[in-house]
Chain A
Amino acid sequence: MTPDIDKLTKIAAQVRRDIVRMVHGCQSGHPGGSLGCADYFVALYFHALKHNNKFDMDGRDEDLFFLSNGHISPVWYSVLARSGYFKISELATFRKLNSRLQGHPTTHEQLPGIRIASGSLGQGMSVAIGAALAKKLNNDVRLVFSLHGDGELQEGQTWEAAMYASHNKVDNIISAIDVNGQQIDGSTENVLSLGNLRAKWEAFGWEVLEMNGNDMTDVIRGLDLAISKTGKGRPIMILMQTMMGNGIDFMMHSHKWHGVAPNDEQLTLALAQVEETFGDY
């Protein structure tokens, strides 16, 4: 199916509005990484994933997605709601008492679309591999996708998982890393350099692709290419270049908006930059 790039771009604009409004609404949360990954999430849920909007934990015969860097929950919640997993009005409850939209994603409150808790970093790739192995045991040909932060790669468990996946030819998994070069305390270059990510992942035996995570056409190209490379004996890694805070000019080019909420004035400035395309929640 030929994707409607214009429509996907419009959905991404609405998702960016949701993110900023959600974080503003509770005066907490992580807008920077969420905004940077908006195009990836929209391309994933509205194009790449073969999934059922009627949620089932086991997810047999459908593609699964796992978010390892759980702090970018606003973008995931927005896209889940916008693709029909729950009502968009529920986005207003983000991080508030008695909400299913916890600060970090969890199965505990039974929010449709979430299959594992994440937030404590570095655990998601292992979980995604486990789900991919279950699919193989079940003769289920669908795929498993996962997303990870670049700073998150500083957690050692990711590399345990990386080694396992290539050794065991887990070739039904497509992981992506949000390479925005920023983490809480500054740039990854200054905090703890990640070195040559392509060389690292290739050395760990993965098929490595790259894409511009803030260009919808390129995200579609990258995801389609990744899907075409599954089933060939190697796990797939997409190094996705993004800009933290993408879409809101004053949130870009810095790590400052990793985990800070905009005030009323900043919200107005931000919303003026992204068009309301599908209606605010």
Chain B
Amino acid sequence: MKKYTYTEKKDTRSGFGAGLVEAGKRNDQVVALCADLIGSLKMDAFIKEFPDRFFQIGIAEANMMGIAAGLTIGGKIPFTGTFANFSTGRVYDQIRQSIAYSDKNVKICASHAGLTLGEDGATHQILEDIGMMKMLPGMTVINPCDYNQTKAATIAIAEHHGPVYLRFGRPVVPVFTDADQKFEIGKAWMVSEGTDVSIFATGHLVWKAIEAGEKLAEMGINAEIINIHTIKPLDEAAVLKSVAKTGCVVTAEEHNRYGGLGDSIAQVLTRNNPSPQEYVAVNDSFGESGTPDQLMKKYGLDTEDIISAVQRVLKRK
């Protein structure tokens, strides 16, 4: 098991904020929109740097998506910012018609995704967003794992033409990926090579998969850990190559087990190499108020849950 350490914890949304400023410096066509959540989305630095390229929309997310679509007509590259819940479910039809079907170069940037939003509770803890977004033809869906990867992803999507859903979160989590990494959309990242089981993880679950991998190694289980930061388009070759070696799979995500990363992996395996798979995901329920750590534990998304999923899937090999 490759060793990973970290010296600090940061929130992925701050990685987005830093990446947005950098993307704005690199390309003066980059503009940003926000629906009354500037502080939560960490957009202050962009606004300070580029006040004329920022649009405060107010609490009107549908209008924000439409305005973003319109801004692309004239060559702008709009980044919308609000919570994941209001970036997807609330505006699904606007995204579908005005952005995805119209093939508009809008970057839908969504913070506070999943249970780790915490105390605000289930009204705000969306666990269905990956599913909704990945079903839209032409939509790229990205869920980075730490501050550095989120920053790199934000810069990368500005250079990619087409609609993108970028999902990140609220809590501080270990920063363990390289600060100067190049983010390749659609390319899985080999976190640690192994032979016994493939763990495909996305977002906040990547660090937990690393923690699980270390404990599994102590138990004599050599897990391969792969970070699927781009859920669509999925790096099918990387998935199949890994499973050809290990023969079984655990998927880990902060999302409903219906429609998320696990289902994307399962579909690839079903078509190519049917293999035992266990899901670490929310079991088709809404969340509730609590601290992020309490919620991840209660809803089965913790390090221990990955370990037990590995133990279960190994018995099915």
Binding site for B on A (CB under 8 A): 57-60, 64, 66, 106-108, 115-120, 122-135, 137-138, 140, 156-157, 160-161, 163-164, 167-168
Contact = CB atoms under 8 A, between A and B. Distances in A.
B65 interface: yes
A129 B70 contact: yes
Nearest to A68: B66
A60 B74 contact: yes
Q: In this complex, which of A66, A108, A160 has the most chain B Cβ atoms within 10 angstroms of its Cβ?
A: A160
B102 A134 contact: no
A47 to B, nearest CB: 23
Contacts of B263: none
A241 B66 CA distance: 27
Listed residue (B53, B60, B73, B75) with the most chain A CB atoms within 10 angstroms of its CB: B73
A168 B97 CA distance: 25
Contact of B67 (A60, A118, A127, A167): A127
Given A106-B101, A108-B103, A117-B98, A161 B63 contact: yes
B47 interface: no
Interface in B40-70: 52-53, 55, 57-58, 60, 62-70
A133 B67 contact: yes
A164 B69 contact: no
A60 B53 CA distance: 18
Interface string B74-91: 111010000000000000
A146 to B, nearest CB: 10
Interface in B192-219: none
Contacts of B62: 122-123, 126, 156-157, 160
B102 A120 contact: no
B70 A132 contact: yes
Chain B interface mostly: helix
A237 to B, nearest CB: 16
3 tightest A-B CB contacts, nearest first? A130-B70, A126-B66, A134-B74
A124 B94 CA distance: 10
Nearest to B96: A120
A119 B69 CA distance: 15
Contacts of B71: 130-131, 133-134
A130 B66 contact: yes
A57 B93 CA distance: 22
A102 B63 CA distance: 25
B63 A126 contact: yes
A125 B66 contact: yes
Interface string B90-116: 000110111001111000000000000
B31 interface: yes
B28 to A, nearest CB: 9
Interface string B144-178: 00000000000000000000000000000000000
A108 B60 CA distance: 27
5 contacts: A58-B73, A115-B73, A123-B66, A123-B94, A133-B71
Contacts of B31: 137
B63 A137 contact: no
Nearest to B61: A160
Identify the interface centre among A108, A117, A132: most chain B CB within 10 Å of its CB: A117
A242 to B, nearest CB: 25
B67 A126 contact: yes
B251 to A, nearest CB: 33
B54 to A, nearest CB: 11
Given A117-B102, A126-B65, A157-B62, A140 B70 contact: no
Contacts of A167: 58
Contacts of A124: 66
Nearest to B66: A126
B14 to A, nearest CB: 27
